[in-house]
Structure 1
Amino acid sequence: MGSLLDYFIGSSAITIFVLLLLSGYFIITFWIFLDRYYILNSRIKSESRSLKALYSGQSKSVASNSLIFTYLSRVNTPNKAILEAASSDAIRVSTKGLTWLSIIASTAPFIGLFGTVIGILETFSKLGDQSSASLSVVAPAIAEALIATAAGIAVAIFAYTFHLMLKRKAYELSSLLASQSEVILSQVEE
């Protein structure tokens, strides 16, 4: 704990700002992931049950908890346009936050690199004031500066991984909604 405190005391305001920004990114990344993962999973489960009831003939329409139920309840005869609108709206609402994960995944390494560059510049400016500098003096200072890059890469890895996981869940939801739409349209045509 003491070395972490020493690191912050010896760091510049820019380095601390970069690490705080990356910490915020990290928290936002996990918040978005947990929120959207729970929502997408629950919607996938309910749409899967609704589709199973349609396929087995237990129901002639989607379940009342389906995302497209409210759209279907407003029209006399289901049509392709209303079903596509319902599906599109459901996916749009379910995937909120994915853009932020993408932005975080692409910018976090650069923010970390910026913090490293500032740390290295500070190190060289401090070393310039000394009459001689050996590797034993330079290496620890450079290693401390690289913490920002490591933090940026770590945040980016989580953000990118979570983005892909949620994108796959959104695809599953989209497929379930499309399948239900096809079944409903086939029943209307009969």
Structure 2
Amino acid sequence: MTNTILNYLANSSAITYIVLALLSIYLIIIFWIFIYRYVSLKGLITNEKKSLDSLTSRDSSFSPFSSLNKCSNNSSSREILHACEINIIKDASAGISWLAIISSTSPFIGLFGTVIGILESFAKFSGHSKVGFSLIAPAISEALVATAAGIFVAIFAYTFHQVLTRKVYELNTYIKAQAEIIIAKG
């Protein structure tokens, strides 16, 4: 396996190196965004769930750890609470759009690397009078590595985007429920 990878890299062009380096950077970025956002959203959701539980219990108090409480300064104004909801969700969803961008562009970057690899392979064979499938197949399969890398990155980016979008929705649900209770209690 290692020899195959080293052989592939030894026979690759500068474009292939650039494509694989860019896709590697993409992969690092998506894991960083996912881990950072997932941990922070998990903490926010936990605080808002506790706050909602506190509001619906006997003591009916607003949790001091609630982002909605911190933003609204104990106000029960619909407008202030709505503005706080928007601000909290905007902050919570920062960076998530990058996952969507990466999931949609990485297959095209991989495809670009594949097209260049195939063009280079055909250019190598242009001087030969007879070229068989046994010569073309390995060259094309090596070129397809870039597409596979692009799809690999896109799968993670898309999956992480969906998971984080769901977490933001969950956070939004808890915040809206708290706001409605606070408005109702006046």
Normalised by the shorter chain, which TM-score bucket? over 0.9
TM-score, normalising length: structure 2: 0.96
Query: How much does 1:96 deviate?
Result: 1.0
Report the equivalent of 1:119.
Answer: 117
Report the equivalent of 1:33.
Answer: 34
Given residue 140 of structure 1, which amino acid in structure 2 is its aligned partner?
Answer: P
Query: How much does 1:181 deviate?
Result: 0.3
Residues in 1 aligned to 2:103 and 2:76: alpha-carbon distance in whole angstroms: 41
Q: Is 1:155 the counterpart of 2:153 in the alignment?
A: yes
Give runs of aligned pairs for residues 98-117 of structure 1, distance below 5 A: 98-117=96-115
Q: Is 1:16 the counterpart of 2:14 in the alignment?
A: no
SS of the aligned residue for 2:67 comes to: coil
Residues in 1 aligned to 2:71 and 2:97: alpha-carbon distance in whole angstroms: 26
Pick from 162, 165, 168: which aligns with 2:166? 168
TM-score, normalising length: structure 1: 0.94
Please identify, of 179-188 and 124-133, the stretch whose mean Cα deviation from structure 2 is larger.
Answer: 124-133
Give runs of aligned pairs for residues 1-190 of structure 1, distance below 5 A: 1-60=2-61, 62-73=62-73, 77-188=75-186
Given residue 79 of structure 2, which amino acid in structure 1 is its aligned partner?
Answer: A
Given residue 88 of structure 1, which amino acid in structure 2 is its aligned partner?
Answer: I
Q: How many residue pairs are counted as aligned between the two chains?
A: 185
Query: How much does 1:130 deviate?
Result: 2.3
- Runs of 4+ off more than 4 Å: none
Residues in 2 aligned to 1:59 and 1:39: alpha-carbon distance in whole angstroms: 26
Residues in 1 aligned to 2:154 and 2:59: alpha-carbon distance in whole angstroms: 46
Indicate the percent of aligned positions where both proteins have the same amino acid.
49
Please identify, of 160-169 and 2-11, the stretch whose mean Cα deviation from structure 2 is larger.
Answer: 2-11
Query: How much does 1:162 deviate?
Result: 0.8
Given residue 135 of structure 2, which amino acid in structure 1 is its aligned partner?
Answer: V
Query: How much does 1:5 deviate?
Result: 1.6
SS of the aligned residue for 1:140 comes to: helix
Query: How much does 1:175 deviate?
Result: 0.5
